[in-house]
Structure 1
Amino acid sequence: MSTAVDFAARLIDPAAIAAAGHSAVLAYVSPSRPGANFGAKPITADYARALAAARLDIVSIWQYGKPGDATPSDWTTGFDGGRRMGEQALATHLSLGAPRQAPIFFAVDEDITLAQWNSTAVEFFRGVNSVLDVAWTGIYGHSRVCAWAIEDGVVGSRGEFSWAWQTRAWSGTEREPRAVLYQRVIDTPSDPGPLIDGTRVDVNDILAPDFGQWSLDRSVSMPPFTEIDRLGPSHSPRNGARIRNFLLHTQEGNGTAETLAAYLNNPSNGVSYHYTLRDGVVVRVVPEELASWSVLSANPFTVNLCFAGSRAAWSRAQWLAIDGDLRIAAYLAVRSAHRHSYSTQVIGPEYHVADGITDHQYVTKALGIGTHTDVGPNFPWDVFAAHVGEFAGPRPNAIDARAAATPWLGVRRTDGEISTPDGLGRFAEFEHGYVYWHPATDAHAIPAPIMTKFAELGWEAGRLGYPIAEHTELPDPRGTGPGLAQAFQGGTIYRRAGGPAFHVHGAIGARWAESGFENGELGWPASDETAHADGVYQEFEFGRIYWVPGKIVALRHSGEPDTPFDRPA
């Protein structure tokens, strides 16, 4: 069984994690709570890249408060706390390079009762849902709280599994069968977890092919199968080559997916594939970021899958007898094509040179490399292409879908869509706002009052980047109506009713959040950041927050200082 580790104390060497036999890291996207100084809360973008380079999957988790601490448990903050933490979690998640279509697991790190769940905790998760959507909300907790979250529909699901991460603590012998992760080893002073690179870790069993890892393309539906990691040394670097083709192969032998993988993992045999497949079991032998040893000089730009136990001489009937495996192969091909942005067209006989999904014979006949003819003359290309089409499907227009779900936008003013200067995003103008889309953030509507500030700061090319969530109306008992807030990659825009909008981000934004946002002792933002001799400051309704390197201090207009504290800022 594959395992993942979680830890907070410090950033552990990714190579050491991989060497210890683990395949994933459950990584924090939450900051350290006041008074704590966890080196891995949150992880950094550089560390995320180092984990990926070590071929470790990454899953996002959030836990800010702690039972019995001055900062209360997250779940006790109800709907409003869930919404705010959802915004913070999503902003950090995206800033680390994670995809929008990946869950974030929120921790319930104590033995709560059903009454506590029904009165408060479920509202916290509904607040998270208002930002992430149910589809990308996950939960960590004991077996019962995982079940309650699934039953109340506040966590997403993927096939037969839900975004539930069960801890052994407080669960007794109970197991939630729909969980994707199980925390089996918990590091405590009396029962320490294993030591990796000088730091103790928790160990989690991975129970599902999709357990929330960043690397999966979840715009593709998924057939049932078991995916096992047997990553070995039989690979080479791609040396910057762009992946262009997914290739199918036959084994010309009688192996299973696992016995074939074991053979491939011996470098002296001189052959490998990215995947082996038989009877609903997929074994990952080489990560797609590396080149397998499958097709000579075509290795750098191909992803390769071998049907274990198959032969190029098979009849059509023999191929159709493993139709379940054909569907799995089609899914893996589409998943790879979406992940690396190459075509999902199926290229069968007669072959032509193009990006797409094909077989080893394509390399021989179309590219003129080698002499292999697998997968053979009787492979059912029509059936396989239909499976590919099922998984690839028509890719929905995200801007149109968002506009349809957002009637307040009014009449569309843009004929079609306009590309952003970075060549990645798109936007469209409507009567009362805009919709912006980017592949990493999805599509979100920006109302006109927020849009004014967004434009002032340089649109998506400025410090804000793209929107990461829909706007929220904020009650304002001291104002003339509800205010507005919307989160972007580079911070959040707040606008009080009848007033101008302001941008809050970074260390000053975190300090304002600790004070209670607009309902706290500092009130609403009253300016953007202003530079001074040693750093920057920002005005608020009832005070000012100063930042200088290494220090963040909030002062109220009354002249009485807020409790200042030194910390990395």
Structure 2
Amino acid sequence: MSTAVDFAARLIEPRAIVAAGHSAVLAYISPSRPGANFGAKPITADYARALTAAGLDIVSIWQYGKPGDATPSDWTTGYDGGRRMAEQALATHLSVGAPRHAPIFFAVDEDISLSQWNSTAVEFFRGVNSVLGSAWTGIYGHARVCAWAIEDAVVGARGQFSWAWQTRAWSGTEREPRAVLYQRVIDTPSNPGPIIDSTRVDVNDILAPDFGQWALDRSVSVPPFTEIDRLGPSHSSREGARITNFLLHTQEGNGTAESLAAYLNNPANGVSYHYTLRDAVVVRVVPEELASWSVLSANPFTVNLCFAGSRIAWSRAQWLAIDGDLRIAAYLAVRSAQRHGYSTEVIEPDYHVGDGISDHRYVTRALGIGSHTDVGPNFPWDVFAAHVASFVGATEPTAIDLRAAASPWLGARRTTGELSTPDGVGRFAEFEHGHVYWHPSTDAHAVPTAIMDKYAELEWETGPLGYPTAEHTELPDPQGSGPGLAQTFQGGAVYRRAAQPAYWVHGAIGARWAAAGHENGELGWPASDETAHDDGVYQSFEFGRIYWVPEQIVALRNSGEPDTPLSRPA
């Protein structure tokens, strides 16, 4: 059974969590209450990215107050408290990289009664529902409080499961069968939890394929399967390589997912895969952030899955007899591609080299590595590709899709799907004549190639410009060879005259230039970026310069010796 850890004392090294055999972190998005100083409350965007890079799933949890503390238990604050805390929880949830369609679990961390639930706690959760919607509200508590929340429909459901995280505390022998998580090990002074990276943790059993993890695309139905961790020593470092492909393999034997995993976990056998799969049982053998021993020199940039009990010689009918496993494999491939930002294109025979989902024979035929030919000539690529498409394309159009549809000048799409930006929050897609960037605080905006050059020079959205905040504008330029372009970003604006370099205008100098009339004013178009000068900076324009030093800014128009200072507009 896969397990997740939760902790508040400090941010634990992600690789240590993986080494301890866990696959997920239940992470606090709530701040420390007054008088407390928890190093892991709330988590940061950088830490969330490190967890994801280590192959760990993340689930959002909220607990601010505490029983017996000066700050009251969250559930005692009723409807208004639930609404207020949900607003703060959602803002933090999104800011650290979580998707909107992932639940947030709110804690009832004490042994409350049905009377307390009915009079106060359920109202707290209704307040949370008013912000998140019940579909994305979860609860932590004992077995009974989980059941009450489900019965009162204040928590969401996924198939036979609900967003309920049951703790062993106060539950006795009761178990809520609809819970997605069970807190089995609780760190207390009398019963300390295990130590990871010098910090004690709680341990939770993962009871459902969808337990609220950020990485899951909930716009499609998750195929039912059981995922088991059997992490072993048969792996290597990726040595910094970017993952580009998900590959399918046959076993050429009669094993089960678990018996094949046991064989792979013996390093003397010299082979391993990230996943084994048979009869809706998925065994995770190697974390995706490490390289399995599957495809020789292609190991550093691939994720590998083996259909246990399968053979190259299978007929199409034999493959179609395990269509449920084909769908699970397609889901795992899409999940991996979305997690690591590579293409979900299915690369089938006749192959071409590229990012995407393929098989071992792709490595042989397209990459020229090795001699394997699995998954064989009768694999039903059409059926498998349809399964992949159902997980990729069954969603409503995204903001990027809608912006692209409204911007036909972008031309052909080059990116399959969307890629994550390094902050783990934004997304982007590449087109023939530009890119579209999206961030929850700025929406989606298209950036033409003529401006992308400067955007790239300034390190895209990770640099001082940040994300685009509006569409580009064409500006008439009587003295140029064609219209110029301008586009605003979080950190200023980029201006580019036809056939000329682009320049960045921002801050106090940008404000002074705007006051002078932008490109139609006395200074004309930008002619340089800012340049350091003495204790400040200056920027050149078509007809002058603007100088800035702390507490002072001066605009000068070229008009002989000396230049003419420009007066500020009234």
Is this a same-fold pair by TM over 0.5? yes
SS at match of 1:349: coil
Shift of 1:201: 2.9
Instruction: For 2:186, give the aligned amino acid.
Output: I
Matched ranges for 1:240-259 at <5 A = 240-259=240-259
SS of residue in 2 equivalent to 1:79:
helix
Helix, strand or coil: the match of 2:310? coil
Within a 5 Å distance, the mapping from 1:337-356 to structure 2 comes to 337-356=337-356
Measured after TM superposition, the shift of residue 278 of structure 1 is 0.7
Query: What residue number does 1:147 align with?
Result: 147
Q: Mark the CA change 1:374 to 1:14 in structure 2 (over 3 Å): closer, same or farther.
A: closer
Cα distance in structure 2, aligned partners of 1:194 and 1:122: 34
Please name the residue that 2:314 is paired with.
Answer: 314
Quick one: distance in 2 between partners of 1:219 and 1:263? Answer: 36
Query: Structure 1 151/263 Cα, relative in aligned 2: closer, same or farther at 3 Å?
Result: same
In structure 2, the partner of 1:528 is none
Residues 79/11 of structure 1: CA separation in 2 closer, same or farther (3 Å cut): same
Deviations 1:304-362 (A, max 9, x none): 11101111011222212212111111111222233333333333233333433221112
Separation in structure 1 between the aligned mates of residue 150 and residue 464 of structure 2, nearest angstrom: 40
In the TM superposition, residue 437 of structure 1 has moved relative to its aligned partner by 8.5
Matched, 1:138 2:138: yes
Q: Could you tell me how far apart the structure 2 residues matched to 1:167 and 1:305 are? A: 34
RMSD between aligned residues: 3.6
Q: Which moved more, 1:125-134 or 1:48-57?
A: 48-57
Does residue 121 in structure 1 map to residue 121 in structure 2? yes
Aligned positions, number: 435
Task: Name 1:158's counterpart in structure 2.
Answer: 158
Task: Note closer, same or farther for the CA distance 1:321–1:241 as it changes in structure 2 (3 Å cut).
Answer: same
Cα distance in 2 for residues equivalent to 1:314 and 1:425: 40
Alpha-carbon separation, structure 1, partners of 2:227 and 2:24:
14
Are the structure 2 counterparts of residues 464 and 74 from structure 1 closer, same or farther at C-alpha, using a change threshold of 3 Å? Answer: farther
Query: What pairs with 1:482-561 in structure 2 (closer than 5 Å)?
Result: none
* CA distance, structure 2, for counterparts of residue 116 and residue 465 of structure 1: 47
Residues 112/443 of structure 1: CA separation in 2 closer, same or farther (3 Å cut): farther
Once the two structures are aligned, what percentage of the paired residues are identical?
81
Q: Which residue of 1 aligns with 2:188?
A: 188
Shift of 1:63: 0.5
Q: Conserved in 2, the CA contact under 8 Å of 1:185 and 1:203? A: yes
Distance 1:324 1:140, change over 3 A: same
Q: Deviations over 1:402-428 (max 9, x none)?
A: x9xxxxxxxx9x955999xx99569xx
What is aligned with 1:334? 334
Q: Is the 8 A contact 2:437 2:467 kept in 1?
A: no
SS of structure 1 residue aligned to 2:348: coil
Match of 2:4 in 1: 4
* Residues 197 and 361 (structure 1), Cα distance of their counterparts in 2 relative to 1, 3 Å cut: closer
1:412-491 matches, within 5 Å, as 415=406, 438=438
Given the alignment of the two structures, is residue 111 of structure 1 paired with residue 111 of structure 2, yes or no? yes
- Distance in 1 (alpha carbons) for counterparts of 2:60 and 2:144: 22
* Contact 1:399–1:437 (CA under 8 A) maintained in structure 2: no
- Please identify the structure whose Cα radius of gyration is greater: 2
1:140 aligns to what SS in structure 2? strand
TM-score by length of 2: 0.68
Partners of 1:159 and 1:222 within 8 A in 2: no
Task: Summarize the alignment of residues 374-393 of structure 1 with structure 2, pairs less than 5 Å apart.
Answer: 374-393=374-393
Return the alpha-carbon distance in structure 2 between the equivalents of residues 437 and 349 of structure 1. Answer: 33
- CA apart distance, 1:141: 0.7
Q: Please say if 1:71 is aligned against 2:71.
A: yes
Structure 2: runs of 5+ lacking an equivalent: 411-419, 429-435, 445-460, 470-489, 491-570
Equivalent in the alignment of 1:272: 272
Alpha-carbon distance in structure 2 between the residues aligned to 1:438 and 1:14: 28
Q: What is the deviation of 1:169?
A: 1.9
| In structure 1, C-alpha distance between the alignment counterparts of 2:439 and 2:168, rounded to whole Å | 37
1: CA distance between counterparts of 2:351 and 2:314? 20
1:252, distance to aligned residue in structure 2 (A): 0.8
Amino acid at match of 1:141: G
- Shift of the 391–197 alpha-carbon distance from structure 1 to 2, 3 Å rule, reads closer
Aligned-pair CA distance for 1:462 = 9.0
